[in-house]
């Protein structure tokens, strides 16, 4: 196993831990944390491949920077939505948010 | 002594341990602390790849801003005095099975892929990244700033408490 595959193994592990949390947790904030872990795994993947397998490492850094920006915007919107949902339904447990369930 | 390997090992252990804390513990505050720990680990991995600027940005944005925002959201929303409910065993087993399945599938694809070694000079410094950001990727850079402004205004509008239109003619300004 060379260096790049070690990074990719860590990235796969982070992604799977995030996926487990996203499926298993019920609190919306915990699900957001798991989702951010998966995004971090994706950006780690991009940076590792571009710096260890091509000479365009700066392109990977730019992609990861844009990914961080999008993740920050998404998390801000999501957290404000959670606050609004809590104010309306008095819970952020996904099992309680079943108004649209047929 | 190979310092790159040492930094990689420490950071990878920190990232995995923090991720396990972030999804495994029951207390939501411990989850957020584990998330911050995991992101410090990922920043260490970026450092060991030579991307120092990216590591600094990651710590600033995720550990500095996002974790604090999550703590605020928890304090504004979660009823912390209620005891957490018991986890259902089939759901935990199903989620773990799904995660392991996806992980094995990803590793079967990624682990046997061939990646050629880098050719030419590695452009890993912050100088190169800034040059790319302001030449080839300037449109994405500007769009990100627009997106952040829209997200900020949207978050304020969504989370704002809806007040009934107050009529304060003559009471506020006169005093």
Domain residue ranges in chain B: 1-79, 125-163
pLDDT value for B55: 92
Give me the phi and psi of B80, to 5 degrees please: -80, -20
Do A53 and B19 lie within an 8 Å CB cutoff?
Answer: no
- How far is it, in rounded angstroms, from Cα A60 to Cα B57? 14
Pick the CATH number of B1-79 from 2.60.200.20, 1.20.120.1200, 1.10.3720.10, 3.40.640.10: 1.20.120.1200
CATH topology classification for A3-89: Helix Hairpins (1.10.287)
Q: Which of B31, B95, B144 sits opposite A30 (nearest CB)?
A: B31
Minimum-distance CB partner of A73 among B45, B76, B147: B147
Q: Which chain A residues are within 8 Å of B53, Cβ to Cβ?
A: 61
Cα B145–chain centre separation: 18
8 Å CB contact between A92 and A25 = no
pLDDT beneath 70, residues of chain A: 1, 102
Residue/partner pairs of B101-105 with CB below 8 Å, 24 or more apart: B102/A15, B102/A16, B102/A19, B103/A12, B103/A13, B103/A15, B103/A16
Are A79 and A96 in contact by the 8 Å Cβ rule? The answer is: no
**pLDDT of B173:** 47
Q: How far is CA B102 from the centre of its chain?
A: 21
Is A15 within 8 Å of B103 when comparing Cβ atoms? yes
Q: Cβ of B103 and A62 within 8 Å? A: no
User: How do residues B24-67 score in pLDDT, each as one tens digit?
Assistant: 888 888 999 999 999 999 999 999 888 889 999 999 999 889 99
The H or E element that residue B35 is part of is helix B28-48
Contacts of A37 in chain B (CB under 8 A): 19, 22-23, 35, 38
CB atoms within 10 A of CB A19: 23
Entry pTM: 0.86
**Half-sphere CA count of B67, side-chain side, radius 13 A:** 21
Using DSSP's 3-state secondary structure scheme, residue B5 falls into helix
Taking the domains of chain A in order of start, what are their residue ranges?
A: 3-89
Query: What are the tokens at B24?
Result: 């495994």
pLDDT score, position B169? 56
B151 and A74 within 8 Å at the Cβ level: the answer is yes
- Chain centroid, CA B25 distance in Å: 18
- What ipTM goes with this model? 0.90
Biggest CA–CA distance in chain B, Å, is: 77
Provide the pLDDT confidence category of residue B174 given band limits of 50, 70 and 90. very low
Phi-psi region of B50 (alpha: psi -120 to 50; beta: other; left: phi over 0): left
- Residues from chain A that touch B77, judged by Cβ atoms under 8 A, are 29, 82-83, 85-86, 92
| Alpha helices (H) along B60-172 | 67-77, 89-111, 126-133, 138-159
């Amino acid at each position: 196993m060379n260096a790049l595959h070690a990074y990719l193994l860590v990235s796969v592990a982070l992604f799977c831990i995030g996926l487990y949390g996203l499926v298993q947790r019920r609190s919306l904030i915990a699900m957001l944390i798991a989702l951010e872990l998966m995004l971090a795994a994706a950006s780690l993947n991009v940076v590792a491949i571009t710096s260890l397998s091509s000479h365009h490492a700066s392109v990977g850094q730019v992609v990861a920077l844009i990914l961080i920006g999008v993740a920050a915007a998404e998390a801000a919107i999501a957290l404000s939505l959670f606050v609004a949902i809590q104010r309306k339904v008095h819970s952020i447990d996904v099992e309680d948010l079943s108004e649209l369930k047929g | 002594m190979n310092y790159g390997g040492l930094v990689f090992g420490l950071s990878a252990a920190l990232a995995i341990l923090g991720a396990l804390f972030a999804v495994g513990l029951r207390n939501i505050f411990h989850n957020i602390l584990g998330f911050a720990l995991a992101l410090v680990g990922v920043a260490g991995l970026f450092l060991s790849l030579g991307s120092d600027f990216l590591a600094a940005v990651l710590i600033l944005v995720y550990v500095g801003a996002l974790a604090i925002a999550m703590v605020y959201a928890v304090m504004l929303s979660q009823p912390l005095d209620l005891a957490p409910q018991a986890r259902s065993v089939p759901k935990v087993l199903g989620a773990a099975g799904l995660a392991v399945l996806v992980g094995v599938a990803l590793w079967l694809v990624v682990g046997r892929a061939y990646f050629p070694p880098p050719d030419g000079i590695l452009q890993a410094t912050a100088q190169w990244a800034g040059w790319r950001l302001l030449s080839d990727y300037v449109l994405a850079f500007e769009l990100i700033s627009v997106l952040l402004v829209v997200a900020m205004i949207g978050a304020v509008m969504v989370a704002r408490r809806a007040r009934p239109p107050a009529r304060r003619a003559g009471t506020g300004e006169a005093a």
